[in-house]
Amino acid sequence: MGVVLDSSVLIAGERRRESVREILSRVQAAHGGVDCALSVVTIVELTHGIYRAKNDADRERRRAFSEELRRDMVVHPVTVEIAEVAGRIEGEQAARGVSVAFEDLLIGATALHIGYELATLNLRDFQKIPGLSVVKL
């Protein structure tokens, strides 16, 4: 069993000036020696943050953090199978009147597809995804 890290966990760690290794150590201390992974959608969200930085120093710090993540972690692409899981969930939830943010849907579908839990600071939104095991850090 492993855990997919949501962007919220990573952004909070980056804001505390933690390294990727420090964040992973904290996750593993809380959940045992689990494997940690990312969805490629998280890279999109972090890259968005790089270009929204208010100054060059923040932009470069965020860029270095994102590069460290890509170097040190497994990043899962959105495959056809993950897209189908996301489409099914989105359709089923929409039929019930429940809306799930597209980014969260793809990150959650990735975790479901690979059989991992999802670690987030955003429990409310991810709990809208049936079958997803969501843990708060």
**pLDDT tens for each residue of 77-122:** 999 999 999 999 999 999 999 999 999 999 999 999 999 999 999 9
Q: Is the dihedral of CA 95, 122, 64, 107 positive or negative?
A: negative
Percent of the residues in the chain that have a pLDDT greater than 70, as a whole number:
100
**pLDDT tens for each residue of 28-81:** 888 888 899 999 999 999 999 999 999 999 999 999 999 999 999 999 999 999
| CATH code for the domain defined by 2-136 | 3.40.50.1010
Q: Residue 135 forms beta bridges with which residues?
A: 119
Supply the pLDDT for residue 62.
95
For residue 134, give both structure tokens.
């969501």
pTM of the full predicted structure?
Answer: 0.93
Question: What is the spatial order of strands in the sheet that 74-76 belongs to?
Answer: 74-76, 35-39, 2-5, 117-120, 134-136
pLDDT at 5 over 80: yes
Domain ranges of the chain: 2-136
Q: Which of 64, 75, 76 is closest to 18 using CA atoms?
A: 64
